[in-house]
Structure 1
Amino acid sequence: MAARTPSDPDVRRIQQRTVALLAGAQVFGGIGAGATVSIGSILAVELSGSSAWAGVVATAMTLGAAVAAVPLAALADRSGRRISQVGGLLTAFGGTVLMVLATVTGLFPLLLLGAAGIGVGSAAGLQARFAAVDLAAAGSRGKALSTVVWAVTVGAVAGPNLIRPGAAVGLALGLPSTAGPFIISGTGLLVAVVIVFAGLRPDPLQLARELAAVPRAPAKAEDPAGAKGSLARGFRAIQGSAGARLAVAAVVAAHAVMVGIMSMTPLHLQHVVEGPAASQAGHHASADALVVIGFTISLHIAGMYALSPVMGWLTDRAGRIQTIMIGLTLLLGAAAVAGLGQGSTTAVAVGLVLLGMGWSAATVAGSTLLAESVDPDSRVVVQGVSDMLMGAAGAVGGAVSGLVLSWAGYPGLNMLGAVIGAGVLAVAFLSLAARRRQSAPD
């Protein structure tokens, strides 16, 4: 009997079901990250008493995602995607509990621990996009990956707009109004856990290995077992592939620029809406400022996820590197619009939408290129290393952005993002030119 392949009707049905289940889980799991992004910087200032800590919640969340990326990938490599996804989502649920406790007790460290826990859920969400391509045929990998990315739209866009309904929930339960959004997001995460645990059968990674007759690669003699060995193996595989190096550079740069600009935008918008009053010690954001911030971040997250199917289509049709270049170009446009129009809430919102679209194109195309650029036995750990570097870059971007904002203002922050994006765009252009020269006839 012939071996089954991704084009086999049974495998195609399993693949379609897998993508649908992962997408459903992303809808509910994305709420936590959206709520944290929208009010995290404001909560940090309120609980710490200093605007210097405004970017630390975004930093903690992205750092949590970075630290968890390789262990989650190692867990998937060993036990399959289902177990890895459930572990990440349950950790994120614990993070929402800590966020609620932080608002109740006023303890700043709990806020940071909660944000880090939610970041672990974000790492699981990022790895879900790779689970979507485990069984996908080569010509539809961009589409499958982008479908799961797109599914985050519902939860992630809803998250920033939970400020007012969440406040009502919090007050109804006798809690601070800022606790309510995290109660709602925690409930969504539990729903996502049930969807993945009960529905992701058969496990797509394990089935893909069975179809390809590729067993899980054993740890090499010089590598210790576990996450550390996976990290070393992943770095070696990336270093040995030009395509993997470009893919990692693209997703890392796009994430660093996106997090750096996005994490400081709520604070900047608060100053635009409220004027000098926003700089007063102990000042709390007004209702008008919160509405503008929530709406702007919602538009930004929509830019990140809503058009991801288009980015997947471009990735499959125009090419991986070409779509990466489109994404980096959009990042440059975002920095120009938001930086030059810093005094206008409309211009900042437009810039944030372009920023999200640029991130989407670079991430979808870069992730697809990465999955194709390494050997199957190293693919899962390489994906974990990529996500780790992506999260670390976001953490650095979130931490540095506060300093850049205080030194150079919002235009300076956007200018720095443009410089980073332009550097990787140049590398992508040279890589594409080299590939075309190699494929040209003598």
Structure 2
Amino acid sequence: MPELLEEIPDLTGHRRRTLAVLSAGQVLSGISFGATVSLGAVLAATISGDDALSGLATAAITLGTATFSMPLAAMAGRRGRGPALASGMAVALIGVGLVIGAVAVRSFPMLLIGFALVGAGQSANLQARFAATDLATDASRGRDLSLVVWSTTLGAVLGPNLVGPGETLGQLVGMPDLTGPYLFTIVGQLAGTALYWFGLRPDPLLLAQRIAIRDAVTGTSVERADRPVAARYAMLAVVGAHTVMVSVMAMTPIHLLHHGATLTIVGLTISLHIAGMYALSPVFGLLADRWGRLRTIALGYTTLAASAAVIALGASDPRWVTVALILLGLGWSAATVSGAALLTEASAPSLRVRRQGRNDAAMSLLGAIGAIAAGGALGWFGFAGLALCTLPLIVAVVVLAPLGRR
């Protein structure tokens, strides 16, 4: 097989170029998704006429993310990360069009279908962080992954703050009420699709597979033992943090609006929450590499518990809700960055991409269930009660931490 023995490109340079492309794509995705998540619950409540159904917008997005995660992972395994990421962004663009159309014709089912397709873009966002690890070493895996996560900060913080200007622009061009911000989403999705399709060449995953086959042929490969128990715990840590985060975040806009907050305040709160999710991810990546994956996961879950406590004590004050949402984002970041790094290194190369897709599907599915349940919990127990409902899951993940060493 002489084609396997061809000269491999400079890995250091190509790794840096791959990280740059993935990071730029995450900026564009952040702009797109930030505007989407800010208005999702509001649009669902407005179109349905029932606040209890507001969580279905986030639920639809996360269900869509779960649905597309495994197919996009399978596509990545066959054709590479570039085509998979670009396809996810393209499907999400179709979803945005359906959301705008649904608002125009006041169709709640159509709105949910559109948000479900938007979930394909979120699935691509999640897969991008794993793409950063394709060419990484054990010493740099957490850092590389976290740098791509961090790059989402700019777009994610900017996106929700484009709600006001976007609505003004939308009114000028005759778009339905509350859909103007999706003009920025469309531009971001188009640019991200093109960037992933043309920018990830040679493809990092295909290159990593080529290196692995070459090393096996030449007898220079070092076999990595599979650690299925640790991999399952890593999935639990990531899925648990995401479920807690989505459940609380999905209901925050409705809660704030009921307490007299304006759309600008809602957008600012979500922006700060998303900043918490991404801005310090390089710090958590370095901690995961140097301090340990499990310790960083524990730090993340401690922060999630602190977020729930702040909400329980200050749910009626938008300022304390904002503080709690920042802590919620920080806890999510620490747990998911370190959990994703643990999942990658605990999985044999032949199982890695499949488990990554399974992880993304599980976190999205459980996030969707959490968002659906959060709507009812908000009505039954209030926002403070909703936050306290997340504590049993937080405690369970911390107690099961020794499994991550196996």
The TM-score with structure 2 as length reference comes to: 0.93
1:259 corresponds to which of 233, 241, 246: 246
1:125-140 to 2 correspondence within 5 Å? 125-140=125-140
Residue type at the aligned position of 2:285: G
Contact 2:36 2:185 in 1 (8 A): no
Q: Distance in 2 between matches of 1:374 and 1:176?
A: 47
> Where does residue 331 of structure 1 map in the other structure?
304
User: Is 1:410 paired with 2:383?
Assistant: yes
1:7-406 to 2 correspondence within 5 Å? 10-213=10-213, 241-273=228-260, 289-406=262-379
Residue type at the aligned position of 1:242: V
Contact 1:165 1:181 in 2 (8 A): yes
Aligned to 1:138, the other structure's residue is in SS state coil
Residue type at the aligned position of 1:250: A
Contact 2:238 2:363 in 1 (8 A): yes
Residue type at the aligned position of 1:296: T
Residue type at the aligned position of 1:72: L
Shift of 1:166: 0.7
Q: Distance in 1 between matches of 2:50 and 2:377?
A: 16
> Where does residue 225 of structure 1 map in the other structure?
none
Aligned length: 393
Shift of 1:25: 0.7
Shift of 1:289: 1.7
Shift of 1:176: 2.2
Q: Distance in 2 between matches of 1:41 and 1:376?
A: 39
Shift of 1:256: 0.4
Shift of 1:179: 1.4
> Where does residue 420 of structure 1 map in the other structure?
393
Q: CA RMSD in A?
A: 1.9
Contact 1:33 1:119 in 2 (8 A): no
Contact 2:73 2:84 in 1 (8 A): yes
Residue type at the aligned position of 2:303: L
Q: Deviations over 1:36-83 (max 9, x none)?
A: 211111111111111121100000000000011101001111111111
Shift of 1:214: 7.2
The TM-score with structure 1 as length reference comes to: 0.86
Contact 1:100 1:183 in 2 (8 A): no
Aligned to 2:174, the other structure's residue is in SS state coil
Q: Distance in 2 between matches of 1:245 and 1:342?
A: 34
Q: Which aligned runs of 4 or more in structure 1 are off by greater than 6 angstroms?
A: none
Contact 2:31 2:156 in 1 (8 A): yes
Contact 1:32 1:96 in 2 (8 A): no
- Does the C-alpha gap of structure 1 residues 214 and 252 become closer, same or farther in structure 2, counting only changes over 3 Å? farther
Identity %: 46
Aligned to 2:262, the other structure's residue is in SS state helix
Structure 2, gaps ≥5 residues long: 216-224
Q: Distance in 2 between matches of 1:133 and 1:101?
A: 38
Q: Distance in 1 between matches of 2:74 and 2:372?
A: 28
- Does the C-alpha gap of structure 1 residues 83 and 9 become closer, same or farther in structure 2, counting only changes over 3 Å? closer
